[in-house]
Chains A and B, each alone.
Chain A
């Protein structure tokens, strides 16, 4: 159902007033060029210090908390692989109770971080449950498209054709032979107030999406594209370039869904061919031209589907339509046909 979402609490960030305080300090142990920790830092910059983080097991947990050190400047709880959304639900319930009792004055933001394995696979049930119950929290999926922390095993978020250690490419195998699970769409299907995709290559867009997500009353979901030099087979210096390419090739379109209304937040005027994207990464190196053409077809089809969702959920603005309808409704309908 389409509904209006109150975004009056949304405080927009511009390049001029970019928050600088990152709640994940440097000195953590992420690989060089890790796009995931970069994106996570941006999320915390947008959220600010009054935030509680529930972090599922994964790269981000491992690299930010080798005992007795920590990279976290905000309250942080590490949880098992499958339950970041459940623990965040518990935190949210406790915050509610504390606020009611007057023990907590300033409501903290609650953010759950999970990787793609944690979100799309093992934590999927907990995520769906938290969305359905309507807890006011933001779930951020940092998607590097495989289980990188354990050594690059496929997940249901691994794209078609990618070679991983459990979907190895070879004479009889194309690598991953299934299509990437569409998590943002599944999140949107829960009817939660705010869903978005974001990329660290478009940091202002990413941070503003976080701000919007935190301003709504209820659950929100942001799916962030997180380049992994180690797992994807590319130089660490190329992370942001690849992240940009993913958007410019429409492999990873940036959009948001507010109250059920889809909107593309970065329209690509002249998309680059997906081969530009595929050739830059070792995980796709084995793909033939024919397979690349199939991937291009899928990318085009997915974008077309998204555009149809945008059109379907944004009918001609009601205000503009009404006066026109008085003028010449029949003519317009005929023209369209």
Chain B
């Protein structure tokens, strides 16, 4: 993530996603209205078309996700965006994309659930995002930006990763990230290699054999072979860890949080540091693969952990798995439907630090 442009623009996280996608060479956008991500399709309906791309509003999220599958099979950089209930409807297509190894970028501006929930922020979709989400044995790469600049940066990275691994990549934001405005440097990545999908994309079979994209394997041993191949791919993905450390060197307690909640937790940590408390913050940027190694390293140094999430306790399972045998993690929930302030985190952090 270099080559930041000197120019800065003041935009919403949703718009940062849209602008970043166009900069990354996204040529097709498929969407369907749902709050709190509508700024993305609205921006794309004009800007992507001006950039020579195609904007299609589907009749449902089921359709938009399958349009994405169709475009991805043609080797083009394509994306969709939605919010929790819409992402649920997309799960079948995401499973098929993972099964037939089609690259795609899917943005989820997480809102409160279950059911229709509300239109406010939530991290309730952590499990759905990091465990595959649909049926079958598969994983998607999951990137969780915590600022508008990071949203811009990570959507560019998401397209690269999607094509590197021929796998769906999820951007997991929330209603806070999508709707807050911050200064963003809209840098331009290197142009897309026109041959990046040359050896597998669907483009007609003149002069050669047909290419098949499928996820159905009925012959004996065929599906097992495909699953083994997929597992090898997911193992290779483990190299893609990304995380942020804040004042963890001498910390006794490390707060683990991601996305918008990590921003709020960071404010609490900063304030408590001023009071002389030895606390720090660990923020995974990639939620899958989860940065387990660096966390285990911190656990090895004898630090304790507190996981703060905007759900009933989901990422805490990954934190506990990461530090198992060395430490454990306390857990603090902000219920979806509530909006936390940094002050709300002070007491749980103090308690966890005192080992109570």
Residue positions of A touching B, CB distance < 8 A: 57, 78, 80-82, 117, 120-122, 124, 147, 149-151, 153-154, 156, 165-168, 170
Residue positions of B touching A, CB distance < 8 A: 31-35, 38, 41-42, 45-46, 55, 57, 59-61, 85, 89, 115-116
- Please give, as numbers and ranges, the residues of chain B lying within 8 Å of A153 by CB-CB distance: 33, 38, 41-42, 57
A154 to B58, CA, bound (A): 10
Given A117-B33, A122-B32, A124-B59, A150:B45 Cβ within 8 A: no
Given A124-B59, A156-B59, A170-B46, A151:B116 Cβ within 8 A: no
Whether B38 lies near A165 (C-beta < 8 A) is yes
- Please give, as numbers and ranges, the residues of chain B lying within 8 Å of A121 by CB-CB distance: 59-60
Given A80-B85, A150-B34, A122:B60 Cβ within 8 A: yes
Shortest A201–chain B CB gap in Å is 28
Counting from the closest, the 4 A-B pairs by CB-CB distance are: A122-B60, A121-B59, A150-B33, A153-B33
- Please give, as numbers and ranges, the residues of chain B lying within 8 Å of A78 by CB-CB distance: 116
- Please give, as numbers and ranges, the residues of chain B lying within 8 Å of A124 by CB-CB distance: 59
Shortest B118–chain A CB gap in Å is 9
Whether A168 lies near B59 (C-beta < 8 A) is no
List, sorted by A's number, 18 A–B pairs whose CB atoms are closer than 8 Å: A80-B85, A82-B60, A82-B89, A122-B59, A122-B61, A147-B33, A150-B33, A150-B35, A150-B38, A151-B33, A151-B38, A153-B33, A153-B38, A165-B42, A166-B42, A166-B57, A167-B45, A168-B46
- Please give, as numbers and ranges, the residues of chain A lying within 8 Å of B31 by CB-CB distance: 166
Interface contacts beyond A122-B61, A150-B33, A151-B35: sample of 10 additional A-B pairs, CB < 8 Å, sorted by A: A80-B116, A81-B60, A122-B59, A147-B33, A151-B33, A153-B38, A153-B57, A154-B57, A165-B38, A166-B57
A78 to B115, CA, bound (A): 10
Shortest B30–chain A CB gap in Å is 12
Shortest A143–chain B CB gap in Å is 15
A120 to B31, CA, bound (A): 16
Shortest A139–chain B CB gap in Å is 17
Whether B116 lies near A166 (C-beta < 8 A) is no
A111 to B35, CA, bound (A): 27
- Please give, as numbers and ranges, the residues of chain A lying within 8 Å of B34 by CB-CB distance: 150
A78 to B34, CA, bound (A): 17
A154 to B34, CA, bound (A): 12
Whether B59 lies near A166 (C-beta < 8 A) is no
- Please give, as numbers and ranges, the residues of chain B lying within 8 Å of A117 by CB-CB distance: 33
Whether A168 lies near B45 (C-beta < 8 A) is yes
- Please give, as numbers and ranges, the residues of chain A lying within 8 Å of B46 by CB-CB distance: 168, 170
- Please give, as numbers and ranges, the residues of chain A lying within 8 Å of B35 by CB-CB distance: 149-151
- Please give, as numbers and ranges, the residues of chain A lying within 8 Å of B55 by CB-CB distance: 166
- Please give, as numbers and ranges, the residues of chain A lying within 8 Å of B32 by CB-CB distance: 122
A82 to B85, CA, bound (A): 11
A122 to B57, CA, bound (A): 12
Chain B residue with minimal CB distance to A120? B59
Chain B residue with minimal CB distance to A121? B59
Shortest B86–chain A CB gap in Å is 9
A312 to B41, CA, bound (A): 44
- Please give, as numbers and ranges, the residues of chain A lying within 8 Å of B41 by CB-CB distance: 153, 166
- Please give, as numbers and ranges, the residues of chain B lying within 8 Å of A120 by CB-CB distance: 59
Whether A165 lies near B45 (C-beta < 8 A) is yes
A80 to B115, CA, bound (A): 8
- Please give, as numbers and ranges, the residues of chain B lying within 8 Å of A81 by CB-CB distance: 60, 85
Whether B42 lies near A151 (C-beta < 8 A) is yes
- Please give, as numbers and ranges, the residues of chain B lying within 8 Å of A151 by CB-CB distance: 33, 35, 38, 42
Chain A residue with minimal CB distance to B85? A80
Shortest A175–chain B CB gap in Å is 11
- Please give, as numbers and ranges, the residues of chain A lying within 8 Å of B45 by CB-CB distance: 165-168
Shortest A305–chain B CB gap in Å is 24
Residue from B34, B55, B57, B61 whose CB has the most chain A CB atoms within 10 Å:
B57
- Please give, as numbers and ranges, the residues of chain B lying within 8 Å of A57 by CB-CB distance: 116
Shortest A78–chain B CB gap in Å is 7
Residue from B33, B41, B61 whose CB has the most chain A CB atoms within 10 Å:
B33
Shortest B335–chain A CB gap in Å is 14
A120 to B60, CA, bound (A): 10
- Please give, as numbers and ranges, the residues of chain A lying within 8 Å of B57 by CB-CB distance: 153-154, 166-167
Shortest B51–chain A CB gap in Å is 13
- Please give, as numbers and ranges, the residues of chain B lying within 8 Å of A149 by CB-CB distance: 35
A149 to B41, CA, bound (A): 15
A153 to B34, CA, bound (A): 10
- Please give, as numbers and ranges, the residues of chain A lying within 8 Å of B42 by CB-CB distance: 151, 153, 165-166
Residue from A117, A150, A154 whose CB has the most chain B CB atoms within 10 Å:
A150
Shortest A86–chain B CB gap in Å is 14
A28 to B59, CA, bound (A): 29
A82 to B33, CA, bound (A): 13
A122 to B38, CA, bound (A): 17
A78 to B55, CA, bound (A): 31
Chain A residue with minimal CB distance to B34? A150
A302 to B34, CA, bound (A): 32
- Please give, as numbers and ranges, the residues of chain A lying within 8 Å of B89 by CB-CB distance: 82
Shortest A226–chain B CB gap in Å is 17
Shortest A243–chain B CB gap in Å is 24
